[in-house]
A and B are shown apart, each in its own frame.
Chain A
Amino acid sequence: MKVEGSDAKRLLQLVEGLEEMDDVAKVFSNFDIDAEAMAAVTG
């Protein structure tokens, strides 16, 4: 599942938010964000 632009940013924030929860052990997803978009999102 290719995800780009603002969706990619919100998706990464969502995954980060879930992973920060004490009860959450692992988060799996089928998203595909290319390296350039990832770098743009994560700064």
Chain B
Amino acid sequence: MAGHSKWKQIKRKKAVTDQKRGAVFTRLIREITIAAKQGGGDPGGNARLRTAIDAAKAENMPADNIDRAIKKGTGELEGVTYEEVTYEGYGPGGAALLIQATTDNPNRTVAEIRNVFQRHGANLAATNAVAWMFDRKGQIVVDAKASEDATMEAALDAGAEDMEKEGDIYLITTPPTQLHAIWFPRTP
């Protein structure tokens, strides 16, 4: 019977892992679909799509899933139409919050976000109530294995604005339009 109990535990653990993996896949698929919709299905000419595909591969997403997501984005396959929306609000202590969402139903999404805000004593705000407090920047996170000076020089030469060391990583800040060009220097 001990074996049976152990199997139940393994099953429960597997269910939790599968659920988390499913949530990660859902987000990655949406990002691939949106990227393909906006910039076309060729990752060679669409740096955002290339980044999304790399992220999906890093999570061991099957190639078929990636292909289907691209084809849904380009319209070659029928599927759900996603759009990007941004919501703003104030959290406990007056902190400003900016939420980027990808959804096939903005009415459902805003209702769900409002619900989460209300449960935590926070409030959604009008458009541009807090967005003006944020600057749009690209950010690249690199393992701090190489020397700080060499990494800084390479980053600045490629067009980055700044680099900071935080623990065992380097945080490289870029102009938003230059993010992919700096991340993939050989992209035309």
Chain A residues within CB distance 8 Å of chain B: 1, 3-4, 6-8, 10-11, 13-15, 17-18, 20-31
Contacts and interface: CB of A to CB of B under 8 A. Distances in A.
Contacts, number: 90
Contact of B100 (A4, A13, A14, A26): A26
Contacts of B121: 10
Interface of B: 23, 26-27, 30-31, 84, 91-103, 108-109, 112-113, 116-117, 119-122, 133-134
Contacts of B92: 3, 6-8, 10-11, 14
A30 B116 contact: no
B122 A14 contact: yes
Interface centre among B23, B117, B120, by most A CB within 10 Å? B120
B81 to A, nearest CB: 14
What does DSSP make chain A's interface, helix, strand, loop or mixed? mixed
A20 B19 CA distance: 11
Nearest to B134: A28
